[in-house]
């Protein structure tokens, strides 16, 4: 087994490379049947209004524990799923789970706003506008209860693909909103801000977590919040872990926080208990 290096020379794979490739092959193999085996799950992490302290919504995050591969984190899972196309199955599983959950919550008077994460490949290969609308309809969910989170990488690619923009526009017209996730970490281009129907900005956790460690960070984060506000975006801070971070963000005018301080991602029933105990 060999890999080519820059100048066309060939080097043997290191033990590290072997480990990584074996792990990837195992995940690919196991992933194909993961959904049949019913061992994928959706957890919900609360999003909290910074002024009232109330839970206004939740982000749906996929979890996978496999008998052979063990716990596969989304950071490991999603790139492989994107590459193999299995992201379509995962995306559909999450969409179905979330819509069913919203329907179930509605029967108990809970109308929580839910965000899902989407990969660009889902919008490229599938008609996501129809797929999302069908699922919302089937479960009597209001479209304005759903947010689709996209990354800067997604935005950058979507910008050049008419059919993706069209699907996003259709969804926006029906009431679905879009959030720009991990803001500030990707390919910062401001062009897509006016092209794509984005209405929410999620400041990446790396900025929040170094708020008090790096001198320039409060100014940088303040600038991001001001930018979001001037675009009429709702601004969410990700990865808020301490009261200190929370206070700084409140002072800077951030709208919503999401992070371990207000709660880890949990099962739907647990989130429901949190909602009840806050009443």
Tokens of 223: 């600038």
Q: Contact between 255 and ligand C2E (CB under 6 A)? A: no
Dist CA 129 CA 96 (whole Å): 14
**Residue 25 or residue 189: which is nearer to Mg ion going by CB?**
189
In total, the chain counts a number of residues equal to 279
Helix, strand and coil in the chain, % to nearest 5: 50, 20, 30
Q: Please tell me whether residue 84 adopts helix, strand or coil conformation.
A: helix
Binding map of ligand C2E across residues 25-54, x = CB under 6 A, - = no contact:
--------------------x---------
Pairing of strands 55-66, 70-72: antiparallel
By CB under 6 A, the residues from 118 to 177 that bind ligand C2E are 118-119, 149
Part in contact with Mg ion (CB under 5 A); list of ranges 35-43, 79-87, 109-117, 258-266: 109-117
Q: Please tell me whether residue 68 adopts helix, strand or coil conformation.
A: coil
Dist CA 126 CA 15 (whole Å): 38
**Residue 95 or residue 252: which is nearer to ligand C2E going by CB?**
95
Residue from 66, 122, 157, 181 touching Mg ion (CB under 5 A): that is 181
> CB under 5 to 8 A by kind: which of Mg ion, ligand C2E, none does 61 bind?
ligand C2E
Q: Contact between 205 and ligand C2E (CB under 6 A)? A: yes
Dist CA 76 CA 127 (whole Å): 26
Which stretches of the chain bind ligand C2E, using CB under 6 A?
Answer: 45, 61-62, 73-75, 78, 90-91, 94, 117-119, 149, 181-182, 205, 238-241, 259-260, 265
């Amino acid at each position: 087994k060999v890999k080519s290096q820059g100048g066309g020379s060939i080097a043997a794979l290191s033990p590290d490379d072997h480990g990584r490739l074996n792990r990837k092959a195992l995940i690919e193999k196991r992933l194909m049947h993961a959904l049949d085996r019913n061992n994928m799950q959706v957890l919900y992490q609360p999003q909290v209004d910074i002024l009232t302290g109330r839970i206004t919504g939740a982000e749906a995050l996929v979890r996978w524990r496999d008998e052979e591969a063990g716990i596969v984190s989304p950071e490991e899972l999603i790139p492989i799923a994107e590459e193999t196309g299995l992201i379509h199955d995962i995306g559909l599983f999450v969409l179905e789970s979330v819509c069913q959950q919203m329907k179930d919550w509605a029967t108990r008077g809970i109308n929580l706003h839910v965000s899902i994460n989407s990969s660009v490949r889902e919008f490229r290969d599938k008609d996501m506008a129809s797929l999302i609308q069908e699922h919302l309809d089937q479960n009597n969910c209001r479209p304005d209860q759903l947010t689709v989170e996209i990354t800067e990488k997604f935005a950058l690619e979507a910008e050049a693909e008419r059919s993706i923009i069209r699907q996003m526009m259709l969804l926006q017209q029906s009431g679905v909103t879009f959030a720009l996730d991990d803001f500030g970490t990707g390919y910062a281009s401001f062009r897509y801000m006016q092209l794509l129907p984005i209405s929410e900005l999620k400041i990446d956790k790396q900025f929040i977590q170094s708020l008090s460690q790096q001198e320039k960070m409060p100014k940088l984060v303040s600038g991001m919040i001001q930018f979001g506000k001037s675009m009429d975006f709702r601004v969410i801070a990700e990865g808020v872990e301490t009261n200190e971070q929370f206070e700084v963000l409140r002072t800077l005018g951030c709208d919503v926080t999401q992070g371990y301080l207000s709660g880890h991602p949990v099962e739907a029933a647990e989130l429901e208990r949190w909602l009840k105990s806050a009443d």
